[in-house]
Amino acid sequence: MKRSFRELSVLGALAAVLVGMAIFAPAFFSPQPLLSLLTREAPTLVVACGMACVIITRQIDISVGSMFSVCSVCAGLLAARGWPLLLVLPASVALGALLGAVNGLLVAGLRLPSIVVTLATMVTLRQGLNLVRQGEFVNLPDRIQWFGLSQMAGQLVLVGASVAFLVALALAMRHVAGGRFVYAVGTDAEAARLAGIRPQRVTFLVFVFIGALTGLAAMMNLAQSPQVQPLSGAGLELKVIAAVVVGGVAISGGRGNLWGAFAGLLLLACVSPALIHLHIEAYWEKAIQGAIILLAVVADGLRTRKLNR
Amino acid sequence: MKKILLHLCTAGAVLLASLVTATAADSKLVVAMLPKSKGNAYFISCKVGADKAAKELGIQLLFDGPTDSNAAKQNEIVENWITLGVDVIAVAAENKEGISTALRKAQKAGIKVLTFDADAMTDARSFFVNQATPEGIGQGLMDEAARLTNSEGEFAMIVASLTASNQREWQQHIEARLKEKYPKMKLVAVRPCDDLKDKAQSEATALLSANPKLKLIMAICSPGVPGAAEAVKQAGLTGKVKVMGLGLPNENKRYVHAGVTDSIILWNTGDLGYLAIYAGVALAKDELKQGAKTFKAGSLGTFTIAGDNILLGKPFIFNKANIDQFDF
Amino acid sequence: MSVSPGNKNPRDWKAILTRHEMLLLYVLIAEWLFFYFAGTTINRRGAVVGFGTLDRQFDILRHSCEIGLLALALTPVIITAGIDLSIGSLLGLCAILFGKLWHDGGLPISVAAGLTLVLGALAGGLNATLITALRLPPLIVTLGTYSLFRGLAEAITHGAITYTDFPASFLFVGQERWLGLPTQAWIFFGVALGVGLLVHRTTFGRAFRTIGLAPEGARYAGLPVGRRLALVYVLAGLIAAIAAIIYTARLGQAKADAGTGYELFAITAVVLGGTSIFGGTGTVHGTLLGVAAIAVLKNGLACLPVVMRMNAAEEMSGLLTGALLLVALTASVLPKILSRFRARHHAPAP
């Protein structure tokens, strides 16, 4: 109970928001629109899972937004050239993994600080994409949308797959050796090394992992619309980091879990639709999101201070 | 010590290389064109027309603009051009007052300044190549929205950002027209999409679920229209909720044909770029002076000048019947 | 006085000449010379134009002032192993507050400016309180205030109101020259001198580095860690407010989007300047060199005929800044890696 206090408090906040919505704007819960909203967040959830792992190893990756754009555009171009979906999907994941591996090599291989490395790759990838594509939309063939399924089935598949992935990964983080390595490295890399884990290898793989997930997420986003804008994914990094942190994953590494990240993501994702349902003007949105992040960390801080006394 | 030598060697090589390139200066008239943002399909299509005009006139066209939402960038680019000694600067202003500071400086340095797409302060430029007045755009959009909804019911708007000057201006004219002529219509929400199609889709999805009585979504930035259309299509509300707005034909064709988007309003962006370049060159050659009533721009023919506004002509309404005739 | 490890023996010239800041200086000089020769041309009217003109050099200076100020604000922060992502947003909020105080509050410019500085310091104080009193990670606190400050600026103006029509005496600060240099450059150099003295010539600076290296150790050594950290973040808020006023004077308008994305440029400049993101080491002159290297690159590229023909100045400068950062980082760890490699190969067999 005590151990998962943080996750429960986010869940409580989320529940409060949802109850509030049920009272003041019950239309929020009509099934089809709600499914659509969840589908829109499914790619973000997948990236958030990866980000949680990265932050648990005491690293950070702010290049996910740019990687997302690059994967989206490349996958879109391949699809437009007539590649079948079964090839485009792995290609996108592989490209993401490759970009992640570059980050991983620099961070784990050269032991450079991840925040700066991924800042540099973020800028480089984004501007490179601008240079090559000049903002032009990529038109996709029809069979890519919903992976060729009907819309309802496609949405269910996307939401179902992302949640199933979350559950599998959350369990794996707990019960599989690899998952525990991630926690071990984040808690104390030197202790992990003495215990026979290779911290640099774990770090490298975590960056490859988030890259691959970003490639996957790009495909999940691609399936929702018949065109790709090269800007898609801009700002994704902050959204995902905020969700993970609000969900109780400690930036100092080794603490937190994917359930919390999931709750954090849902809480932040609720803000915008909730404002629309409650007919609050849009210019309050950023301030409210900032306040939520601060409240979450302040609550965290107050609690640890109390425990320390 | 080896390192220093290495550095000196590189510096030397670089110097040598640069001396070769420095001789390659050409003596064409230089026109610099500044879009609001570089990666925006709208301005890319302006550039197609501008390139054509540059080729016809035998001038050098510089096309540069911010690639991110950094509002001061436009000023810095203009100031760079001043020291680069370009002959003409044509600007689509993101920040009306802000950019004027730099434009006045350019005028002082003897550079001819004109604006296109979005105007600066009137004293900071000679002419404004006006694709349509903000009033005309606002009224056109609102009238078309009223036509599609029989002048009654709820509608919502998607804008680029809460801070872009011309979006605010159009919005004000839309609201003024609404108040004045369409008392039975109600604007229920205005949502920013940050010029992101994906975000526009999310916002429109939420708008649809929050406002079951919604009859129309109007998007006044080009990525917003396909985003909103996709949301309406996915919500199964095609035909029940109309989509319209300001957008490019190519990005919207499939939705217009599918009956999701009813109409998009836009001027010919290629012509806008073309006209801006022709006007700029005429300014530099002193062929275009204050007080002129008409202006002839190459293959496009003659345009009317009202005061210091060169008018491109009326905005165009694209719909199922005519959208395939356009490619931009 | 400098704490750089290579400088223990003043006659160790090799160590001095290969220090990070010196390497950066060579890069800067090479960059500058390259653009001077490749980016200067003679235009149709026979005038010398481009990078080699004095006007251009002044423009580079003017364009660097705000990001330079933010980078100065960040240097002590990063030396303490902290980070402040909120300064770009705070620049926007301060610009709005300044405009509102002057325009709606009817205050004279100087009073409005003074109050803005106080408000900026207070906003920095909010970061400081959360970081020191609650011992929260700076990255997260300032991620929150990053949204909050920008959000407040938008909420105050509804995103739409732009404050403008400032008097010419105020615009002088951002657009004119005083004693031969752009006016704001004097403010920038003043702040740089102040921060430089604080970091390199006072016990505060030593405290910052100690905190950055070992916060617990600093606590046990009796350093007032909380108060020193608070000082750093309040100072960052104050400098962001100064940058906001200069920004407003340069553009002649205050709007909620001021300073968007500046935090990333500022962090890039600081890191390029050799300050370790892990804390403990870093110099103010390094930061200044980092700011200059980026500014010269950006401005110089826009003068190159090749780049001009490609119409790609903006993208190229972003691309190369990212690449430069990666190269600088790699160069900074290369000696360590080489020695580790050598050690492994020369290690006696067990």
- What pairing do the DSSP bridges indicate for beta strands B214-219 and B185-192? unpaired
Placement of tokens 């942190």 in the chain: A245
As a whole number of Å, the CA-based R_g of chain B is: 22
Whole-number Å distance between alpha carbons of A253 and A250: 6
Please provide residue B314's backbone torsions phi and psi, each rounded to the nearest 5 degrees.
Answer: -70, 150
The answer to whether the beta carbons of residues B256 and B190 sit under 8 Å apart is: no
Fold (CATH) for C57-332: ABC transporter involved in vitamin B12 uptake, BtuC (1.10.3470)
By the 8 A CB rule, do A73 and A138 touch?
yes
Whether the CB of C255 is below 8 Å from some CB of chain B: the reply is yes
> Count of alpha carbons within 13 Å of B315, Cβ hemisphere only?
26
B158's enclosing H/E stretch is strand B153-159
Query: Exposed (0-12), middle (13-18) or buried (19+): which is A155, by Cβ within 10 Å?
Result: buried
pLDDT at A309: 64
For residue B21, being part of any structural domain is answered with: no
Return the bridge partners of B90, or none: B33, B114
pLDDT at B302 over 60: yes
Q: How far apart are CA C346 and CA C340, in angstroms?
A: 10
- Please report the DSSP string for B160-210 in residue order: S-SS-HHHHHHHHHHHHHHHHH-TTEEEEEEEE-TT-HHHHHHHHHHHHHH
Residue A108 forms contact with C (CB below 8 Å): no
> In which band, very low, low, confident or very high, does the pLDDT at B328 lie, cut at 50, 70 and 90?
confident
- Gap from A231 CA to chain B (nearest CA, Å): 7
Give me the DSSP letters along B96-120.
HHHHHHHHHHHHHTT-EEEEESS--
Same domain (yes/no): B123, B239: no
Instruction: Please check whether residue B68 lies inside any domain of the structure.
Output: yes
- Interchain proximity A234–B39, CB inside 8 Å: no
Shared domain check, B189 and B124: no
Q: What is the pLDDT of residue B4?
A: 52
> Cα distance from A135 to chain B (closest Cα, Å)?
4
- Confidence band (pLDDT; 50, 70, 90) for A67? very high
pLDDT of residue C51: 92
Report the number of distinct structural domains present in chain B: 2
Angle A71-A72-A74 (CA atoms, 0-180°, nearest 5)? 65
Minimal-distance CA residue of chain C relative to B94: C257
pLDDT for C7 equals: 47
Tell me if A267 is assigned to some domain. Answer: yes
- List Cβ neighbours of B270 (8 Å cut-off, separation of 6 or more): B45, B46, B48, B49, B52, B328
Residue A288 lies in a domain: yes
Q: Is the ipTM, as predicted for this complex, more than 0.90?
A: no
| The amino acid at A68 | F
Kindly state the tokens that stand for C81.
Answer: 């192993």
Single-letter code of the amino acid located at B131: Q
| Burial call A87-123: b when 16+ CB within 10 Å, e when fewer | ebbebbbebbbebbbbbbebbbebebbbbbbbbbbbb
Does B16 reside within a domain?
no
Per-domain boundaries in chain C = 57-332
In a domain, B155, yes or no: yes
User: For residue B168, what is the nearest residue in chain C, using CA coordinates?
Assistant: C160
C160 and chain B in contact, CB less than 8 A: yes
Report phi then psi at A254, rounded to 5. 80, -5
Residues of chain C found within 8 Å of residue A300, distances taken between Cβ atoms: 136
Is the same domain home to B154 and B196?
yes
The DSSP letter of residue B122 is G
Helix, strand, coil % over all residues of chain C, rounded to 5: 75, 5, 25
Work out the minimum CA distance from B231 to partner chain A, whole angstroms.
9
Does B227 share its domain with B276?
Answer: no
The neighbours of chain B, by the rule of 3 or more Cβ pairs under 8 Å, are A, C
**Measured between CB atoms, does C319 come within 8 Å of chain B?**
no
What's the mean pLDDT in B59-72?
Answer: 85
Q: Which of B230, B248, B266 is the last residue of a domain?
A: B266
How distant is the alpha carbon of residue B294 from its chain centre?
A: 24
In whole angstroms, give the CA distance from residue B30 to residue B20: 22
Q: Is A138 helix (H, G, I), strand (E, B) or coil?
A: strand
Q: Can you tell me the distance from the alpha carbon of B173 to that of C93, in angstroms, rounded to the nearest whole number?
A: 28
Give C204: exposed, middle or buried? Use CB within 10 Å, 0-12, 13-18, 19+: middle
Q: What's the whole-number mean pLDDT along residues B137-143?
A: 92
**Closest CA–CA distance from residue A306 to any residue of chain B (Å):** 40
CATH number of the domain encompassing residue A130: 1.10.3470
Containing structural domain, residue A158? 5-304
Outline where chain A has alpha helix (H). Answer: 5-24, 31-56, 64-80, 85-104, 114-133, 151-175, 177-187, 189-194, 199-222, 236-246, 258-277, 285-308
Cβ of residue A119 closer than 8 Å to a chain C Cβ: yes
- Condensed to tens digits (0 to 9), the pLDDT of residues B71-82 reads 789 999 999 999
For the record, the structure tokens of B90 come out as: 């044509």
User: Which among A121, A124, A290 has the least Cβ separation from residue C145?
Assistant: A290
Mean pLDDT value across residues A99-120: 94
pLDDT value for A250: 87
| Cα separation, C59 vs B143, whole angstroms | 47
Q: Are residues B187 and B292 in the same domain?
A: no
pLDDT score at A300: 77
Length of chain A: 309
What type of residue sits at position C209?
R
In a domain? residue B14: no
Which of B242, B266, B290 corresponds to the end of one domain?
A: B266
Kindly identify which residue of chain B lies nearest to residue C317, measuring between CA atoms.
B67
Asked if residue A169 belongs to a domain, the reply is yes
Whether residue A234 lies within 8 A of chain B, CB to CB, comes out as yes
Domain containing B287 equals: 30-132+269-318
- For A174, A182, B5, B69, the CA distances from A204, given in Å and listed in that order, are 20, 11, 36, 33
| pLDDT value of position A172 | 94
* CATH code of the domain in which B34 resides: 3.40.50.2300
How many independent structural domains does chain A possess?
A: 1
Give start and end residues of each alpha helix (H) in chain B: 2-22, 41-57, 73-84, 96-108, 134-148, 165-181, 197-210, 224-234, 249-257, 269-284
The dihedral over CA atoms of C129, C134, C139, C143, expressed in degrees to the nearest 10, equals -70
Which chain C residues are within 8 Å of A281, Cβ to Cβ? 158
Residue of C nearest to A102 (CA): C326
Kindly state whether residue A309 falls inside one of the protein's structural domains: no
Task: With respect to residue B327, please indicate whether it lies within any of the assigned structural domains.
Answer: no
Per-residue burial over B243-275, b = 16 or more CB atoms within 10 Å of its CB, e = otherwise = bbbbbbbbbbbbbbeeebbbbbbbbbbbbbbbb
**pLDDT at position B63, please?**
93
Q: Is the minimum CB–CB distance between A280 and chain C shorter than 8 Å?
A: no
Mean pLDDT for the stretch of residues B258-287:
93
Residue A245 corresponds to which amino acid?
V
Residue at B149: amino acid letter: T
- Structure confidence at residue B10 (pLDDT): 55
pLDDT, tens only, A230-280: 888 888 998 999 999 999 898 888 888 999 999 999 999 998 899 999 988
User: Is residue B24 situated within a structural domain?
Assistant: no
| pLDDT tens string A166-216 | 999 999 999 999 999 999 999 999 999 999 999 999 999 999 999 999 999
* Tens of each residue's pLDDT in chain C, 350 residues: 344 444 455 557 777 777 888 889 999 999 999 999 999 988 777 788 889 999 899 999 999 999 999 999 999 999 999 999 999 999 999 999 999 999 999 999 999 999 999 999 999 999 999 999 988 889 989 999 999 999 999 999 987 888 999 999 999 999 999 999 999 999 999 999 999 999 999 999 999 999 999 999 999 999 999 999 999 999 999 999 999 999 999 999 999 989 988 998 999 999 999 998 889 999 999 999 999 999 999 999 989 988 888 888 888 988 998 998 888 888 778 777 888 878 877 755 54
Q: Does C3 touch chain A (CB under 8 A)?
A: no
Q: Say yes or no: C331 contacts chain A, CB-CB below 8 A.
A: no
Radius of gyration of chain C (CA): 22
- Cβ neighbour number for residue B287 with a 10 Å cutoff: 13
What is the structure's pLDDT at C10? 55
pLDDT band at B23 (very low <50, low <70, confident <90, very high): very low
- Banded model confidence at residue B69, pLDDT cuts 50, 70, 90: low
Phi-psi region of C311 (alpha: psi -120 to 50; beta: other; left: phi over 0): left
pLDDT in tens, A142-153: 888 888 888 889
